[in-house]
Amino acid sequence: MKKSLPLIVLACLLPWLVYVFIGQSWVRILDFSLLYLMLSLGLNVVVGYAGLLDLGYIAFFAVGAYSYALLSSPQFGLHWPLLVILPIGALCAGVFGVLLGAPTLRLKGDYLAIVTLGFGEIIRIFLNNLSTPINITNGPQGISEIDPLHVGSFVFNHSSALMGISVPSVIHIYYLFLLAVIVTIVFSYRLEKSRVGRAWMAIREDELAASCVGIHTKRYKLLAFGLGATMGGLSGGLFAGFQEFVSPESFTLMESVMILCMVVLGGMGHIPGVIVGSLLLSVLPELLRESAGWQKSLLGSVWVDPANLRLIMFALALVIMMLLRPEGLIPSSVRKKELHHE
Amino acid sequence: MSNILEVNAISKRFGGLIALNNVSLVIPQHSIVGLIGPNGAGKTTLFNIITGLYRPDQGHMLLLGKRLPVGQAHEVARCGIARTFQNIRLFGHLTVLENILVGRHLRSTASVLGAIFNTAHTRQEEREMRDKAFYFLNYVGLSHRAQDYAKTLSYGDQRRLEIARALATEPQVLALDEPAAGMNSKERQDLAQLIQRIKEEGVTVLVIEHDVKWIMSLCQQVSVLHFGQVIAEGDPHLVQNNAKVIEAYLGRGQHHVA
Ligand SMILES: Nc1ncnc2c1ncn2[C@@H]1O[C@H](COP(=O)(O)OP(=O)(O)OP(=O)(O)O)[C@@H](O)[C@H]1O
Ligand SMILES: [Mg+2]
């Protein structure tokens, strides 16, 4: 923990450096990458620790986001305070995690992946269609005019002046998200080193042997689904308040795949790996987005649409990774030994 | 001597194959009981039923006179039966120490909230668990490998780690499925000593093995399974000279015991 102090200091200075030297839009990108980091940490509990391949994880982000949206917007005329709805959203997502996890307990590997993928899509389709007969989610238009993130009279989404220095809203948001991320990291780390985390990893390694030392495997799998989903739900609530708008199209299968890639790229089940993986994969695509400008100046015209370039790079990165470093960029030393021995 | 485990009229079929046919066994407390029989006799299947991995089609089991839950491995472990596997099943990507700590699962209580908030109770328990874990590692002579990954151990060490993991649950009955397989004679001797020591601590040991000589010198009682049926049981030397057993092992004649 003490070793991470310089990192925390760096993380606190980063938004100012980026703001001053690059620009506000990049601080916004950092804000989003912190949300992705929370999602990755949540999925890491399910995939990395318990070894349950979940391809519908974004659904819990959606549940968290819609919980916030419904309880804090003109949709139902509710405007509950942040400190009430964030936990409610996280809890709702956790409950959904358990409910969707329960029918999949007997499934493994590919089969589990396909069923969770289906569940993820079902949630999105529900959000898309729950506008009739009673309008709950407002369908594909989504919910707008969501209350911004605020505590008392302090609104994170508005810029403020601190001792004569004006602080842009994206930096407030950054610190709020950073706080949430640090809490999530500390909790994840403690879980990993605990009796609970070891039970998950035992299930990942050998479910049968785990049950023979007395681990109630079903209960622990549900616990992993539930806790992972709770982290996703928290992230979703923050997302809704940050955007002040949610719609079903933010919660597609592609997003689930993206988060899984973040977890896998850095090194599953290993928190530093997950952090690096998710930061890389949320910042790199944004760099590529700017490549249209470079292409024009270097080659005279835009040769490859940046959106496609992003996907190509993604696919290439994953294929190369799987070939050269299947254990992830920053693996736990265990996995590295294992994968390079065989 | 009272019986710790009674297996009553267990039958199990897999499709058309009758793996166990009306098998009954009594295991006296504080003894080492051998289970032998040719390949495919049903020895592992019987272990799997006792330890709750399979559900029997018929029959039941009693542990110290109480009905043992069927088909629920974690419940059976809680009742005090631990086991090892014919094809070693360790948690390969966990360290040797962590394997034992997982074995302490039933003997610890830390919950999610306790872990997340790192409560005094959780920290205290974690310290005690580590001390206990080292006790079991020392017991099988593996404490110098505590921080290595289970995968990296030699075959013999993996077998011993698996036994230590089972012992870490502090069982009343320890079921070993071919623990001596693939060991040389020196390792077999050491293993026999280890099993003897475990018995002396008050644990009842049930052991499957093909090496008849080894098992005869180790056990107080031997049961012979053949085509899913117990064809002989009792004193090792009487069993060894039993005509049916000799026939089962040498395969004399095509007619097997009905
Ligand atoms: N899960 C299963 N499904 C179908 N058949 C099975 C299953 N488990 C065991 N069998 C069959 O049941 C019979 C008994 O198998 P078992 O593994 O219990 O034998 P064993 O006595 O342990 O033999 P070995 O000495 O080779 O380990 C075999 O014919 C085996 O093929
Ligand atoms: Mg067997």
Q: Region A240-266: what's the mean pLDDT? A: 89
**SS3 of residue B232 by DSSP:** strand
The atom number, within ligand 1, closest to the CA of B86 reads 27
Instruction: Answer whether B35's CB lies under 8 Å from B225's CB.
Output: yes
B136 secondary structure, DSSP code: H
Q: Report the residue among B14, B86, B178, B215 best suited for mutation to probe ligand 1: largest number of ligand atoms under 8 A from its CB.
A: B14
Q: pLDDT by residue (tens digit) across A70-97?
A: 999 888 888 889 899 999 999 999 999 9
Q: Which residues pair with A72 in a beta bridge?
A: A79
For chain A, the 3-state helix, strand and coil shares in percent, each to the nearest 5, are 75, 5, 20
Q: Region A34-49: what's the mean pLDDT? A: 94
Lowest mean pLDDT, pick from A45-59, A142-156, A315-329: A315-329
Residue ranges of domains in chain A: 26-251
Residues of B in contact with A214 (CB under 8 A): 74, 77-78, 105-106, 169
Alpha-carbon distances of B47 from A233, B85, B158, B226, rounded to whole Å: 44, 9, 20, 15
Q: Region A180-199: what's the mean pLDDT? A: 95
Q: How confident is the model at residue A296 (pLDDT cuts 50, 70, 90)?
A: confident
Residues of B in contact with A201 (CB under 8 A): 91, 93-94, 98, 102
* Closest Cα to atom 22 of ligand 1: B44
pLDDT recorded at residue A28? 92
* Closest Cα to atom 3 of ligand 1: B14
Residues of A in contact with B82 (CB under 8 A): 212-213
Q: Does residue B80 have a pLDDT over 50?
A: yes
The atom number, within ligand 1, closest to the CA of B41 reads 21
Which residue among A190, A209, A337 sits closest to B89, beta carbon to beta carbon? Answer: A209
Q: Does residue A334 have a pLDDT over 80?
A: no
Residues 6+ apart with CB under 8 A from B86: B44, B177, B178, B181, B208
A145 and B CB contact within 8 Å? no
Tokens of A271: 């928190």
Q: Does residue A342 have a pLDDT over 50?
A: no
Dist. CA B41 → ligand 2 center (Å): 8
A209 and B CB contact within 8 Å? yes
Instruction: Answer whether B224's CB lies under 8 Å from B23's CB.
Output: no
Dist. CA B12 → ligand 1 center (Å): 11
Q: Does residue A192 have a pLDDT over 50?
A: yes
pLDDT recorded at residue A8? 87
Mean pLDDT score across all residues of chain A: 87
Q: Of residues A133 and A112, which shows the higher confidence score?
A: A112
Lowest mean pLDDT, pick from A262-266, B51-55, B69-73, B130-134: A262-266
Dist. CA B53 → ligand 2 center (Å): 14
* Closest Cα to atom 5 of ligand 1: B14
A217 and B CB contact within 8 Å? yes
Dist. CA A340 → ligand 1 center (Å): 34
Q: Does residue B255 have a pLDDT over 50?
A: no
Q: What percent of chain A has pLDDT over 90?
A: 46
Q: What percent of chain B has pLDDT over 70?
A: 96
pLDDT recorded at residue A341? 47
Highest mean pLDDT among A173-187, A261-275, A306-320, A325-339: A173-187
Q: How confident is the model at residue B256 (pLDDT cuts 50, 70, 90)?
A: very low
CB neighbourhood size of B202 (10 A): 9
A195 and B CB contact within 8 Å? yes
The atom number, within ligand 1, closest to the CA of B37 reads 21
Which residue among A190, A197, A217 sits closest to B74, beta carbon to beta carbon? Answer: A217
Pairing of β B58-63 and β B3-14: antiparallel
Q: Region A99-116: what's the mean pLDDT? A: 89
Q: Region B85-97: what's the mean pLDDT? A: 95
ipTM of the complex: 0.92
Contact B77 A213 (CB under 8 A): yes
Residues with CB under 6 A from ligand 1: B 14, 17, 19, 37, 39-45, 86
Rounded Cα distance, A102 and A229, in Å: 13
The atom number, within ligand 1, closest to the CA of B42 reads 18
pLDDT recorded at residue A64? 95
Q: How confident is the model at residue B1 (pLDDT cuts 50, 70, 90)?
A: low
Q: Which ligand number lies closest to the CA of residue B49?
A: 1
Q: How confident is the model at residue B251 (pLDDT cuts 50, 70, 90)?
A: low
Rounded Cα distance, A335 and B7, in Å: 42
Contact B149 A211 (CB under 8 A): no
Q: Report the residue among B44, B49, B224 best suited for mutation to probe ligand 1: largest number of ligand atoms under 8 A from its CB.
A: B44
* Closest Cα to atom 8 of ligand 1: B45
How many CA atoms lie within 13 Å of A269's alpha carbon, on the beta-carbon side? 23
Sign (positive or negative) of CA dihedral A104, A105, A107, A108: positive
Nearest alpha carbon to residue B142 among B158, B131, B166, B126: B158
CB neighbourhood size of A324 (10 A): 7
Alpha-carbon distances of A181 from A15, A108, B31, rounded to whole Å: 15, 30, 55
Contact A194 B122 (CB under 8 A): yes
Instruction: Answer whether B83's CB lies under 8 Å from B166's CB.
Output: yes
pLDDT recorded at residue A6? 86
Angle formed by the axes of helices B120-140 and B155-167, nearest 10°: 130
Highest mean pLDDT among A209-218, A255-264, B110-119: A209-218
Contact A216 B74 (CB under 8 A): yes
Instruction: Please report, as a single letter, which amino acid is at residue B244.
Output: K
pLDDT recorded at residue B14? 95
Which ranges constitute the DSSP H helices of chain B? 43-50, 73-79, 96-103, 112-116, 120-140, 155-167, 185-200, 212-218, 236-240, 243-250
